[in-house]
Amino acid sequence: MPAFTPIEQVLLFVVAPVVLASAVVEAGVLSWVSRRSRGGSGYDWAGFGVSFFDYVLRIAVTVAVPFTIAAPLVGWVQAHRLTTIVVDGWLPALALFIGLEFCYYWLHRAAHRVRWFWCNHAVHHSANQLNLMASLRIGAFGRLSGNVVFLLPLVWVGFDLRLVITAVTLNLLYQFWLHATWIPKLGVLEGWLNTPSAHRVHHAANVEYLDANYGGVLMVFDRLFGTYIPERDELPCRYGWVHPMTSANPLKVEFAQWAYLLHDLLRARSLRALAGTLAGPPGWKAEGGGETTEELRSRAGFATASPP
């Protein structure tokens, strides 16, 4: 692998330690505040440990297994790029930013709506408390699962793959602060930028809030494609999975959804059931009566995909 670029060096040796230190500081402050508050739920230190385990495991997997199941497609796209776009000014940088927001929106939406990708992304949503440390709980097998395919349109039109990956890293870095639940709504920015309020909705397991607010920095594509849902003051967010993960065993958190997927694949009795189990939304069942977002909302009395 080529030597680290200057921005990669800053991200690895400066930003990463600062991010981790910030999460530790927030944990200490929130724990102290909780101890001083009567009736406080307490800081989830067990969850902190799970998130730290995932953080370390993800680094180890990335170093030990530096490839993706989509490698043949990645190679083909790189060999057939339409042109080469050099990001040496504000116009190509803006084009990369907008293009990445569009591709990230669909990557993130697929991570919730395609069960294969959900198995890894579910790790990020397993935390029952939302905090800065939970933002580092991303899932160790995202690269292996092939989610890079959603970024390949940017490579095909001419952007360098390594630069695109760096841009994704910066996009995720922006999202770090969104996991601080103590930050209030931000007025006129709501509905246009991804804010802590918008991201609280994204992490919520309430039926009314499911499958919403996929954007990285912007909420523009959520508004365009009908997946933006604002936080409601009268409806506090409940975090975690629809059926909460109560175990603090980091291996169980990391592999639970993969184990559920394997179980359902072994029970599949038709090609439709096999394909639906892999590519359908979480909760899909060939025989019906599953727990997809649409089915859960229907049972709750909502007539549309989004809450009224």
With beta carbons less than 8 A apart as the criterion, state whether 194 and 210 touch: no
Alpha carbon of 77 to those of 3, 101, 129, 159: distances in Å?
A: 23, 20, 40, 11
Cα-to-chain-centroid distance, residue 87: 27
Q: What is the pLDDT of residue 40?
A: 63
Q: What is the pLDDT of residue 67?
A: 80
Q: What is the pLDDT of residue 66?
A: 79
Q: What is the pLDDT of residue 37?
A: 77
Rounded to two decimals, the pTM is 0.94
pLDDT in tens, 181-207: 999 999 999 999 999 999 999 999 999
pLDDT in tens, 131-160: 999 999 999 999 899 999 999 999 999 999
Q: What is the pLDDT of residue 1?
A: 52
Mean pLDDT of the chain: 94
Q: What is the pLDDT of residue 39?
A: 62
Question: What does the alpha-carbon distance between residue 177 and residue 192 come to, in Å, rounded to a whole number?
Answer: 17
Low-confidence ranges of the chain (pLDDT < 70): 1-2, 38-40, 303-308
With beta carbons less than 8 A apart as the criterion, state whether 219 and 240 touch: no
